[in-house]
Structure 1
Amino acid sequence: MTSLHTMMPTLRLSVLDQSVARAGRPQDESIRHTLALAERCEALGYHRFWLSEHHSLPTIVGSAPEVLMAAVAARTSRIRIGSAGVMLPHYSPFKVAEQFRVLDALAPGRIDLGVGRAPGSDQRTARLLNPHLRSAEDFPQQVLELHAWVSGQGLPEGHAGHGIQALPMGATAPQLWMLGSSGYGAQLAAYHGMPYAFAHFISEGEGCSQALDLYRATFRPGLLPEPCATVCVWALAADTEEEAWRLFASRERARIDRNAGRFGPLLPPEEALRPYGGSERFHSEELRRKALVGSAAQVRDKLTALAAELDVGELVIITWTWDPAAQRRSYELLAREFGLG
């Protein structure tokens, strides 16, 4: 894989945080924990810090990545900051371009603009976000418009936006990324020559290698001269393997409950434990079989093997724990194992 900058001799690590809600703790506290985590991850040597967008979901309270990105920009000086992502069908591409041009003015050359077409919510909430919600068929056109405005290239004559500029302009511009968890995003990223990030943590890896193969096979030079892909994975390291699996119970319960349409804040490990039956037990076994969980050395080896299997030079790591200190410790352990900084 070729990076956006130069080929790295070792695996590059980045972070995705979703401001997860935690049972028994105020939701606004989760936002402040995200900011503190961004500062810590920059000090540890992580390359990017990405933020997701979800709406009216009791498990995840990160609803406005562009606002959080501004706060992270004010507290950091090196780490790249990005959206993972802006759910573009909700919004005007012109307004998104303006927001990210402002962000680039706050943190020149450090802004990643990741976009996706998923609603990040249910359809009722999506309609409240935008009563005139654009259809999925409009998404490729929205991406083209967004790129034109965010890069300052302008739109052609005959387009309603011809001659309109997204300000402020500067010496740098946000880097546009395509996000996805299926072949659709891979194909669209390849067609426009965009960097591509696959959401491995959503599908537990299902379809990941196929999407990356499709992206690389159909890539046409565009925003980039050659393919650039990364994979967002869920991983958790602790001081001991036993402790890591204890902490994993919170995420395991959230995943199994989600399959049944039950959403709520992340539970402490001890409260998350309950007997699983039937299909729940099967899903629990599958989660644990695929999980990138263990001691720092074990997770390092799992991540390294996965990156080699998928032929990527960067992994974006997302970690859920009920205790923010355990989440922070996981990132600290991995930074040490991979020699970041």
Structure 2
Amino acid sequence: MGLKFGILDQSIVFPGQTSAEALANTVKLAQLAETLGYDRFWVSEHHDSPQMAGASPEVLIAHLLARTETIRIGSGGIMLQHYSPYKVAENFNVLASLAPGRVELGIGRAPGGLPRSTKALQRGTQETETLEEKLSELELLLHGSLEESHPLAGLQANPLPEQPASIFLLGTSVSSAKLAAERGYPYAFALFINNDPEAAKAAFDTYRESFDRSKGTEPIAILALSVIVSDTEAEAEETAGIFKSVRVTLASGKTVNVGSLQQAEAFAKQAGESYTVEERDADITRGTKETVRKRLLELRDAYGVDELIFTTIVPDFAKRERSFRLLKEAFEELPVE
């Protein structure tokens, strides 16, 4: 069986663009992905960031479903720590009722923004549930009612769809892989966020070794990574060379990846801690379609993954489209055995 391919788009507002233009490009990419035969198209959740227009994936997913016909549309991901599982279930039950079999609910464990936005999202709430408890509640509400032992027994997140949204767990660590395995979820490791090969290998090994098949599901391992494909090696190198990876380490030991040194400073200031920062070239698989195909197959074999999800951060929209076309061509010309 061949590899499955998806696209994760972050609705980035590049210099000289408006947020409306960035969102319009997300729509165009979803339609292109469907035309080219990609399996899924996911959108991300980012808060308090002028550089990213995708603050509400549920709203964007609804629009994308209406502008496409067959491709699966999902979140990469919903930051469940901020929200009531009941409301998330209502949102995705409506979406799944509108587009049966096409809705995917990726759950992220990161805050999706700086400390200020986390405070704003959780303002006025008394957060007592763990993520595991929220996931259990969400599962029940996607499929039916809360159990009799729950304080809100019998509660339903209407409408109940015939084909509920599929849950995926997203992460960058062994702990997220273990949680996905325990719950029988597909698991996506974001190599474009944590580009540590050893961490990725440990996460996927843990996922497969710990997977609970009693849930009636089989493990699905997904690698999410940055890719730029161009007509020449030189063009790919030039396009990828402008991007940096910035990791902030707070005095408390917490680490977070951000997009710039300015964001690193803002994160530390809002957290109220001293910090150190490491900047390096972004880990982007780049080159011609032959070069990229070879590298992607190496990564598939190294991590034992079943599917790949690509994010391509290129300001020139025509080059971004071209990258996704070349990527698909690479595997159509030489099918994966």
The TM-score bracket by the shorter chain reads 0.7 to 0.9
2:114 & 2:126 partners in 1: Cα distance?
15
Contact 1:74 1:106 in 2 (8 A): no
RCO higher in structure (CA 8 A, sep ≥6): 1
Pairing 1:157–2:155 present: no
Contact 2:12 2:51 in 1 (8 A): yes
Contact 2:169 2:186 in 1 (8 A): yes
Deviations 1:182-227 (A, max 9, x none): 1121111111111111111101244111001111111112554321
Alignment partner for residue 321 of structure 1, among 308, 311, 314?
314
Structure 2 residues without counterparts, runs of 5 or longer: 249-256, 265-276
Give the aligned partner of residue 108 of structure 2: 116
Q: Residues 1-341 of structure 1 correspond to what in structure 2 (within 5 A)? A: 9-132=1-124, 138-152=130-144, 154-206=145-197, 207-221=199-213, 223-252=215-244, 258=258, 261-263=261-263, 280=279, 283-284=280-281, 287=282, 290-339=283-332
Deviations 1:34-61 (A, max 9, x none): 0110001100000000111010123322
Structure 1 residue 321: deviation in Å?
Answer: 0.4
Contact 2:188 2:224 in 1 (8 A): yes
Contact 1:104 1:172 in 2 (8 A): yes
RMSD in angstroms over aligned alpha carbons?
2.4
Contact 1:237 1:244 in 2 (8 A): yes
Please identify, of 205-214 and 14-23, the stretch whose mean Cα deviation from structure 2 is larger. Answer: 205-214
Give the aligned partner of residue 271 of structure 1: none
Letter in 1 for 2:120: L
Q: Percent identity?
A: 39
Aligned residue pairs total 313
Flag the structure with higher strand content: 2
Give the aligned partner of residue 267 of structure 2: none
Could you say if the C-alpha distance between residues 81 and 60 of structure 1 is closer, same or farther in structure 2, counting changes exceeding 3 Å?
same
Which 4+ residue blocks in structure 1 deviate beyond 3 angstroms? 132-137, 252-261
Letter in 2 for 1:221: R
1:11 & 1:134 partners in 2: Cα distance?
43
Could you say if the C-alpha distance between residues 136 and 55 of structure 1 is closer, same or farther in structure 2, counting changes exceeding 3 Å?
farther
Structure 1 residue 164: deviation in Å?
Answer: 1.0
Structure 1 residue 170: deviation in Å?
Answer: 2.6
Contact 1:84 1:179 in 2 (8 A): yes
Question: Residue 212 of structure 1: SS of its match in structure 2?
Answer: helix
Could you say if the C-alpha distance between residues 101 and 339 of structure 1 is closer, same or farther in structure 2, counting changes exceeding 3 Å?
same
Could you say if the C-alpha distance between residues 105 and 330 of structure 1 is closer, same or farther in structure 2, counting changes exceeding 3 Å?
same
2:243 & 2:177 partners in 1: Cα distance?
28
1:220 & 1:107 partners in 2: Cα distance?
29
TM-score (norm 2): 0.87
Structure 1 residue 22: deviation in Å?
Answer: 0.4
Structure 1 residue 318: deviation in Å?
Answer: 0.4
Structure 1 residue 249: deviation in Å?
Answer: 2.8
Question: Residue 241 of structure 2: SS of its match in structure 1?
Answer: helix
Contact 2:246 2:278 in 1 (8 A): no
Structure 1 residue 252: deviation in Å?
Answer: 3.2
Structure 1 residues without counterparts, runs of 5 or longer: 1-8, 265-277
Structure 1 residue 106: deviation in Å?
Answer: 1.7
Contact 1:89 1:134 in 2 (8 A): no
Structure 1 residue 156: deviation in Å?
Answer: 1.6
Could you say if the C-alpha distance between residues 133 and 304 of structure 1 is closer, same or farther in structure 2, counting changes exceeding 3 Å?
farther
